[in-house]
């Protein structure tokens, strides 16, 4: 959530920065905000006047009684009673205004950092660097390239069973490809924990509304989530039944949600920072996705696995941490010998909570292009303000932390990239050297 003090200080500049994001949209209803803010100021000024008036009149009551002026004292007491009633009504209205301002700001995205390139969509993104094994660029094949669907089928990649069980955009893995999928996740976790200093976590896959509000998925993106009511519903009988007894819960779209919320409503010691967490989890997204190539295969699924990285940092160190986090994701791709590029997202292509984002895009030979496999973002204090996640600074005051998240990596897309980049003419897959210990020393993956 944006800092309301910043809005009050310089509304035009804040709105101008918001408008560099993807258009068209009214990110902030300026008229509604100004009406609420104007009423808030008026009420607060009136409250201060009434409090001063009450204090003055209250002092007079004792003096009037001491002088035997009981009628005047009674009139003063009645005036204090009227002031009290107006103060209570004003306080109630102020609470409503604050709630309306909160609801208004909960739907407003983060401000782009000044270093973010301005652009309306992905065409405005800026490539930062490329990497490939040996620095020679993507591999040149001397045989017809197959895509991961054709390569995966003999290895146990089964979309028909996935559709039978759950519908479109679900897959079923068995045998060699299931083993490869597991190996990739374990390999990624080991690199992030043993080499990069993250603490491995196992988190719930179902979270409450407050967790999603904290990281920014709610209220704006509810329709992108899978969600359920837990408990009694409207048709249930018995004591405590009905809608009021039901709890709204959500399947996580990323373990960023659960990892970041571990510091919600906490005041950390400065010495605890940075906190570096990682977790392997399934991720659930009901987003429709794009047509064409994304409807085939594993590129865009409703359920997929990901190894997530989260950092909770001191505000002065968050941009250094962002660069490090990008490097932590790059290390996985390099060890897997996969060509990739790093892209700085423009203002019009960034996610809701991000102040700055880098995407890592891996080379997908069958599509003859780079596809996103990791997104690393600094959210600055945007999520922390929603979660009230703070630390006690050197001056002994509570200050909001900065939160960062990144994929290290998306397991399914890594599987796609390994299959396609390391395929052989006979349909087998050469296993990258770094991955072989996780497959019992296997050098080549082939149909059983």
Contacting residues for 384 by C-beta, under 8 A, at least 6 apart: 263, 390, 400, 401, 402, 403
372 belongs to the catalytic site: yes
Does 100 carry a binding-site annotation?
Answer: no
d(CA 181, CA 411): 7
Residue of 300, 371, 385, 390 marked catalytic: 300
- In a domain? residue 59: yes
Cα 275 to its chain centre, rounded Å, is 17
- In a domain? residue 240: no
Does 166 carry a binding-site annotation?
Answer: no
Query: Comparing 286 with 327, which gets the higher pLDDT?
Result: 327
d(CA 300, CA 76): 72
Which residue, among 384, 441, 383, 438, has the nearest Cα to 415 in the 3D structure? 438
436 belongs to the catalytic site: no
Q: Which domain holds residue 56?
A: 4-107
Does 373 carry a binding-site annotation?
Answer: yes
Residue of 258, 375, 377, 428 marked catalytic: 375
% residues pLDDT > 70 (the chain): 94
Which residue, among 123, 50, 131, has the nearest Cα to 90 in the 3D structure? 50
Calculate mean pLDDT across residues 340-355: 97
| pLDDT tens string 192-218 | 999 999 999 999 999 999 999 999 999
d(CA 21, CA 381): 18
Does 256 carry a binding-site annotation?
Answer: yes
Q: Cα-flanking dihedrals φ and ψ of residue 200, to 5°?
A: -75, 140
| pLDDT tens string 107-158 | 999 999 999 999 999 999 999 999 999 999 999 999 999 999 999 999 999 9
| pLDDT tens string 47-80 | 999 999 999 998 898 888 888 888 888 898 899 9
Residue of 372, 399, 430, 436 marked catalytic: 372
Cα 391 to its chain centre, rounded Å, is 20
Domain boundary, last residue among 107, 132, 149: 107
User: Can you give the pTM of this predicted structure?
Assistant: 0.91
Residue of 146, 285, 385, 390 marked catalytic: 285
Residues 162 and 54 in one domain: no
What residues form DSSP beta bridges with 158?
172
Q: How confident is the model at residue 220 (pLDDT cuts 50, 70, 90)?
A: confident
Answer yes or no: are the C-beta atoms of 139 and 421 closer than 8 Å.
Answer: yes
Does 255 carry a binding-site annotation?
Answer: yes
Answer yes or no: are the C-beta atoms of 204 and 284 closer than 8 Å.
Answer: no
CATH number of the domain at 272, please. 3.30.930.10
- In a domain? residue 116: no
Q: How many domains does the chain have?
A: 2
285 belongs to the catalytic site: yes
Q: Is the pLDDT of residue 237 over 50?
A: no
Does 374 carry a binding-site annotation?
Answer: yes
3 state DSSP class of 343: strand
Which residue, among 379, 385, 387, 424, has the nearest Cα to 404 in the 3D structure? 379
Does 272 carry a binding-site annotation?
Answer: no
3 state DSSP class of 338: coil
Torsion, CA 337, CA 338, CA 344, CA 346, rounded to 10? -170
413 belongs to the catalytic site: yes
Residues 294 and 394 in one domain: yes
How far is the first Cα of the chain from the last one, in angstroms, to the nearest whole number?
Answer: 52
Domain boundary, last residue among 83, 107, 131: 107
Q: Is the pLDDT of residue 240 over 90?
A: no
Q: Is the pLDDT of residue 235 over 70?
A: no
What are the angstrom distances between the C-alpha of 363 and each of 260, 268, 425? 30, 41, 19
d(CA 106, CA 386): 8
User: What does the pLDDT read at residue 24?
Assistant: 65
Residues 260 and 344 in one domain: yes
Helix (H) or strand (E) holding 17: helix 11-18
Mean pLDDT of the chain: 93
Calculate mean pLDDT across residues 426-439: 98
39 belongs to the catalytic site: no
DSSP class of 254? -
Residues 139 and 72 in one domain: no
Q: How confident is the model at residue 26 (pLDDT cuts 50, 70, 90)?
A: low
Calculate mean pLDDT across residues 347-374: 97
CATH number of the domain at 18, please. 1.10.287.40
- In a domain? residue 282: yes
- In a domain? residue 70: yes
Does 399 carry a binding-site annotation?
Answer: no
- In a domain? residue 163: yes
User: What does the pLDDT read at residue 242?
Assistant: 45
């Amino acid at each position: 959530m944006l800092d309301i003090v910043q809005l009050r200080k310089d509304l035009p500049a804040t709105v101008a920065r918001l408008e560099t994001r993807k258009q068209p949209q009214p990110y902030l209803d300026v008229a509604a905000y100004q009406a609420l803010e104007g009423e808030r100021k008026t009420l607060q000024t009136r409250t201060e006047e009434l409090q001063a008036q009450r204090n003055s009149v209250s002092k007079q009551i004792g003096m009037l009684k001491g002088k035997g002026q009981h009628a005047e004292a009674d009139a003063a007491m009645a005036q204090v009673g009227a002031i009290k009633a107006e103060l209570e009504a004003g306080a109630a209205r102020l609470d409503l205004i604050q709630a309306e301002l909160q609801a208004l700001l909960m739907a407003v995205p983060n401000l782009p950092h000044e270093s973010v390139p301005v652009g309306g969509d992905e065409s405005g993104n800026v490539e930062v660097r490329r990497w490939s094994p040996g620095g020679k660029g993507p591999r040149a094949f001397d045989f017809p390239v197959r895509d991961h669907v054709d390569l995966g089928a003999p290895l146990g990649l089964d979309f028909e069973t996935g559709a039978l069980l759950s519908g479109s955009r679900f897959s079923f893995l068995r045998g060699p490809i299931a083993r490869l999928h597991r190996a990739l996740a374990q390999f990624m976790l080991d690199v992030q924990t043993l080499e990069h200093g993250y603490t491995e976590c196992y988190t719930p896959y179902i979270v409450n509304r407050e967790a999603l509000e904290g990281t920014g998925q709610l209220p704006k993106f509810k329709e992108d989530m899978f969600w359920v009511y837990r408990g009694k519903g409207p048709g249930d009988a018995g004591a405590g039944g009905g809608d009021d007894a039901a709890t709204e819960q959500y399947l996580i779209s990323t373990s960023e949600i659960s990892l970041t919320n571990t510091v919600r409503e906490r005041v950390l010691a400065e010495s605890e920072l940075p906190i570096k967490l990682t977790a392997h989890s399934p991720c659930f997204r009901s987003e429709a996705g794009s047509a064409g190539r994304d409807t085939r295969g594993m590129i865009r699924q409703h359920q997929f696995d990901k190894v997530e990285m989260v950092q909770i940092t001191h505000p002065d160190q968050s941009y250094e941490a962002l660069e490090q986090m990008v490097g932590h994701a790059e290390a996985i791709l390099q060890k897997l010998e996969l060509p990739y590029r790093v892209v700085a997202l423009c203002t019009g292509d960034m996610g809701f909570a991000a102040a700055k984002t880098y995407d890592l895009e891996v080379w997908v030979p069958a599509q003859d292009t780079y596809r996103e496999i990791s997104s690393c973002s600094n959210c600055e204090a945007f999520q922390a303000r929603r979660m009230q996640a703070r630390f006690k600074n050197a001056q002994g005051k509570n200050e909001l932390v900065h939160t960062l998240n990144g994929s290290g990596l998306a397991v399914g897309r890594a599987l796609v990239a390994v299959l396609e980049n390391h395929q052989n003419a006979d349909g087998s897959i050469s296993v990258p050297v770094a991955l072989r210990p996780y497959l019992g020393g296997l050098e080549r993956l082939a149909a059983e």
